[in-house]
Amino acid sequence: MAMADGGPDDLPRTFRRERDAQREQREREQRERAAVDQAFAPPPEPGFVETAGLEPYGGQPFGTPYESGVVTAIKVPFFRLMMFFIKAVLAAIPALILLGILLWGAGQILTAYFPALLKMKILITFPN
């Protein structure tokens, strides 16, 4: 078969090598992707028998949404729930202090640039 007849080998040697290298690279990436997908695939359900024509792992193709469910109750012991909320309150205290400092600083900056705001300040007084 002649090299200049328009066949698949009608390319210079360097182009053929590059084409073959790219093909090998694509095949290697596909094999690696398949290995990763297989490694992270969920295990089959107990007693599951894979049959021809069905997708593995429950017969659902990948990307198909699972059936939805509704949560009707969450059982949490009272003491654990109480401890969670106590920790949440204690964690919020530094955040509130920091927020107060930031707002005070923003107020100081605004009064420095807009002195007329001092006339609009609300004064809270307590009777003697």
pTM of the predicted structure, to 2 decimals: 0.36
Give 10-residue mean pLDDT values along the chain (128 residues): 56 82 91 80 61 52 64 90 95 95 92 76 64
- Map out the domains of the chain as residue ranges: 10-41, 77-128
Q: Please report the pLDDT score of residue 14 as a whole number.
A: 83
Distances in Å between the Cα of 50 and the Cα atoms of 53, 63, 68 are 9, 19, 24
Residue 85 phi, psi dihedral angles, 5° rounding? -70, -35
Query: CA 9, CA 11: separation in Å to the nearest integer?
Result: 5
Q: Look up residue 67 and give its two tokens.
A: 């059936």
